[in-house]
Structure 1
Amino acid sequence: MISYAPFYKTLLSKGITEYQLIFRHGFSANILHRMKHGEAISTKTLDTLCFILNCQVGEILEYVAET
């Protein structure tokens, strides 16, 4: 299972809010909603987030084995 927990830690550490992603960077609120609910996002979206946050993919998502 893919977890987006690192994404929220990265936002916090960089001092960026979801509001700023949406209104300053034009990021889709729908994508943030999908991430909050653990749904799939595209590699293009990952690329955009890495660019905006100046981070690596591992700072946005992680694989968590299902038990």
Structure 2
Amino acid sequence: MISYAPFYQTLFKQNRTEYDLIFHHGISSNTLYRMKQGKPITTTTLDTLCFVLNCQVSDIIEYKPDEKE
């Protein structure tokens, strides 16, 4: 499972907000909604977020294995 927890930690560390991403960098509010819901985003969007936040992919997403019993 892909987690976007690092994205929110990166925003916090950089003292940035979703508002900033939407209104100053053109990131779609739908994209941020999808991320909050844990839904997939495109690699193009991932690339854009890395560019805007000047960070690595690992600062946006992380892989967490599903716990299977």
TM-score computed with the length of structure 1 as normaliser: 0.98
Moved over 2 A (4+): none
Q: Secondary structure at the match of 1:24?
A: helix
Structure 2 residue 61 is matched with structure 1 residue 52: no
Which of the two has higher C-alpha Rg?
2
Q: Please tell me whether residue 28 in structure 1 is matched to residue 28 in structure 2.
A: yes
RMSD over equivalenced CA pairs, Å: 0.4
Question: How many pairs were matched up?
Answer: 67
- Letter of the aligned partner of 2:10 in structure 1? T
Identical counterparts, % of pairs? 63
Partner of 2:5: 5
TM-score, reference length from structure 2? 0.96
In structure 1, runs of 5+ residues without a counterpart are none
